[in-house]
Amino acid sequence: MKIAIFGAGSVGGTLGSSWANKGHEIFFGVPNPNSDKTQALLNKIGSNAQAGTLAEASSFSDVIVLATPWTATESAIKAAGDLRGKTIIDCTNPLKPDFSELSIGFTTSGGEQVAQWAVGANVVKTLNQTGSENMGAPVYGTYPSVMFVCGDDETAKATALTLVKELGFDAVDGGGLKIARLLEPLGMLWIGLVYRQGLGRNIAFALMRRN
């Protein structure tokens, strides 16, 4: 496949290297194709990669991969010219410039709403990310399902982490209650995979770690 990658940073560079190794032709679209960094990347990948402007990359390709910082994404798309009929693989996350949270589509959560209703209580969000079968039997073979826990009160969160661990989950502290904005979409993702995508209820998320 002829693949344009917009951006040649850590994500774009890694993807380009891997796909070039599989025999695809890679064209990095970057603001300055002759930069030392881009040239070093091309040398590392070898014969299946080149670099040029965003428009050149676009016209070369069957597929465009967006590996730009979010704040550069709109201008990169505009600079690429006519994109009708193109396949675009969007690898970006719409982060705020300080990477603290998503900048769009992200306004509140059920957990925060509960905290407003339950005046003075210490609300912890968890056990919303999987189905009841998995709550009763969270270990798949020898691998525990992950269950993220978030809340603003450390004592309440410690209690919840203990209770979640007792169920057999890999209980992971996700941060403050605002992280419910991430954990509720994760619950919704599970529900959608189970029902809309037809994977059935015997699926569960895990968090893998390595050194």
Q: Could you tell me which of 171, 180, 172 has the C-alpha nearest to residue 151?
A: 180
> Taking CB under 8 A as the rule, does residue 206 contact a copy of itself?
yes
Q: Which secondary structure element, helix H or strand E, spans residue 25, and what is its range?
A: strand 25-29
Which position among 105, 152, 154, 171 is part of the footprint of a copy of itself (CB under 8 A)?
105
Q: Which two tokens stand for residue 71?
A: 């704040």
Q: CA-CA distance, 108 to 134, in Å (whole number)?
A: 27
Q: Which of residues 115-144 bind a copy of itself (CB under 8 A)?
A: 117-128, 131-133, 135-136, 140-141, 143
> Taking CB under 8 A as the rule, does residue 174 contact a copy of itself?
yes
Q: Which is nearer to a copy of itself, 35 or 202 (CB)?
A: 202
120 Rama class: left (phi>0) / alpha (psi -120 to 50) / beta: left
Which position among 35, 39, 71, 93 is part of the footprint of a copy of itself (CB under 8 A)?
93
Q: CA-CA distance, 78 to 167, in Å (whole number)?
A: 51
* 168, 203 contact by CB (below 8 A): no
Residue type, 143: Y
Region of 27-35, 36-44, 45-53, 151-159 interacting with a copy of itself (CB under 8 A)? 151-159
> Taking CB under 8 A as the rule, does residue 17 contact a copy of itself?
yes
Q: Which is nearer to a copy of itself, 50 or 194 (CB)?
A: 194
> Taking CB under 8 A as the rule, does residue 199 contact a copy of itself?
yes
> Taking CB under 8 A as the rule, does residue 5 contact a copy of itself?
no
Least distance in Å: CB of 151 to a copy of itself? Answer: 9
Which position among 2, 32, 39, 74 is part of the footprint of a copy of itself (CB under 8 A)?
74
Q: CA-CA distance, 37 to 17, in Å (whole number)?
A: 14
Q: Which is nearer to a copy of itself, 35 or 74 (CB)?
A: 74
Q: Which of residues 18-57 bind a copy of itself (CB under 8 A)?
A: 18-19, 22
Q: Could you tell me which of 195, 200, 130 has the C-alpha nearest to residue 167?
A: 130
Side-chain-side CA neighbours of 181 within 13 Å: the count stands at: 13
